[in-house]
């Protein structure tokens, strides 16, 4: 596996592979790799001649400096995981490489980023959009892979790539979960043992509410109320938001339908977890 630390070297590596007629799949990450990331890597390896993974903790998308400092970093372990999953190149730029002195250009993600994560994390999606475009320009992949756990992020990236005419397919991959249903996340390691046990209720409740919505027309307001009441009465979790949105344009819906997705963010102590479920998917 080739480890690349500069943008110029990454661009040259990709250009060389393209000159050889190779297709390139790309998975951008912030490191602290887990089985969810490995699923993305495997999908890219299956579908492309070469797979590039980036590891970069992007300061621009953190609106909380404490969260940035607490974000887990384990580069040596990540290198082993990438090698074991047949990644061809690992792009590990420094902050100064990505954002050199006098860097001043950012991308506004627009209205699709204005609620849910965007409302509670001001500037977050502008940071995401900016770094993803920079990474795509460095790697020049045919396709980039993202986990659907970050439902709004995938929608934002799709729009940015479309709006800026970037020649890259954005592929969403289903959420990878623990056996008890908790969505895999690099932040899970920061949960206390008690909070870890209680966090499984997030997806359990999402499944129950999705099933209810499939069986009978249910208002978005009722879904929000039910999720908050049941989660907070049975765990230490504090709900930051529950939104029922159109699965395509992410606009809030009045009634949950098979075209809707339920998105949530929940705090357990100082750990923030997000999850979602599309009502048209099997909640089993």
Report pLDDT digits (tens) over 207-220: 999 999 999 889 99
Q: Domain ends where: 143, 173, 203? A: 173
The pair phi, psi for residue 63, each rounded to 5°, is -95, 0
Residue 57 lies in a domain: yes
pTM above 0.85, yes or no: yes
Helix 124-139 × helix 7-19 angle, to 10°: 50
pLDDT over 60 (residue 45)? yes
Q: Could you tell me if 240 and 152 lie in one domain?
A: no
Catalytic residue (choose from 37, 48, 115, 124): 37
Say how far apart CA 174 and CA 73 lie, in whole Å. Answer: 24
Q: Which domain holds residue 241?
A: 186-278
Report pLDDT digits (tens) over 111-160: 999 999 999 999 999 999 999 999 999 999 999 999 999 999 999 999 99
Whether 58 and 30 have beta carbons less than 8 Å apart is answered as: yes
Q: What is the CATH number of the domain that holds 274?
A: 3.30.1300.10
Reply yes or no on whether 37 is catalytic: yes
Q: Could you tell me if 128 and 257 lie in one domain?
A: no
Q: Could you tell me if 146 and 260 lie in one domain?
A: no
SS3 for 62?
coil
The predicted structure's pLDDT at residue 281: 62
Whether 90 and 79 have beta carbons less than 8 Å apart is answered as: yes
Q: Could you tell me if 23 and 126 lie in one domain?
A: yes
Closest CA to 262 of 195, 274, 272: 274
Report pLDDT digits (tens) over 51-100: 999 999 999 999 888 888 888 899 999 999 999 999 999 999 999 999 99
Q: Domain ends where: 117, 143, 173? A: 173
Q: What is the CATH number of the domain that holds 6?
A: 3.40.50.620
194 Cβ partners below 8 Å, 6+ apart?
236
Q: Could you tell me if 197 and 263 lie in one domain?
A: yes
Report pLDDT digits (tens) over 252-269: 999 999 999 999 999 999
Residue 284 lies in a domain: no
Q: Could you tell me if 139 and 193 lie in one domain?
A: no
CB atoms within 10 A of CB 111: 12
Closest CA to 107 of 170, 156, 141: 156
């Amino acid at each position: 596996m080739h480890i690349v630390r500069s943008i110029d070297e990454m661009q040259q590596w990709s250009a060389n592979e393209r000159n050889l007629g190779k297709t390139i799949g790309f998975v951008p990450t912030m490191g602290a790799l887990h089985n969810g990331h490995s699923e993305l890597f495997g999908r890219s390896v299956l579908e492309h001649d070469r797979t590039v993974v980036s590891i970069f903790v992007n300061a621009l998308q953190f609106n909380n400096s404490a969260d940035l400092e607490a974000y887990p970093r384990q580069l040596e372990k990540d290198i082993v995981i990438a090698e074991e999953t047949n990644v061809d190149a690992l792009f590990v730029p420094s902050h100064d490489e990505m954002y050199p002195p006098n860097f001043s250009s950012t991308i506004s993600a627009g209205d699709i980023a204005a609620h849910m994560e965007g409302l509670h994390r001001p500037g977050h999606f502008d940071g995401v959009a900016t770094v993803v475009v920079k990474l795509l320009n460095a790697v020049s992949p045919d396709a980039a892979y993202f986990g659907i756990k970050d439902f709004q992020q995938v929608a934002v990236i799709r729009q940015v790539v479309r709006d800026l005419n970037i020649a890259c397919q954005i592929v969403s991959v289903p959420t990878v979960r623990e056996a008890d249903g908790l969505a895999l996340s690099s932040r899970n390691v920061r949960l206390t043992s008690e909070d870890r046990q209680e966090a499984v209720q997030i997806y359990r409740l999402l499944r129950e509410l999705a099933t209810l919505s499939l069986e009978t027309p249910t208002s978005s307001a009722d879904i929000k109320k039910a999720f908050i009441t049941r989660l907070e009465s049975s765990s230490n979790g504090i709900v930051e938001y529950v939104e029922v949105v159109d699965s395509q344009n992410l606009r809030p819906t009045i009634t949950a339908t098979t075209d809707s997705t339920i998105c949530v963010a929940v705090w357990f102590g100082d750990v923030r977890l997000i999850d979602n479920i599309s009502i048209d998917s099997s909640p089993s």
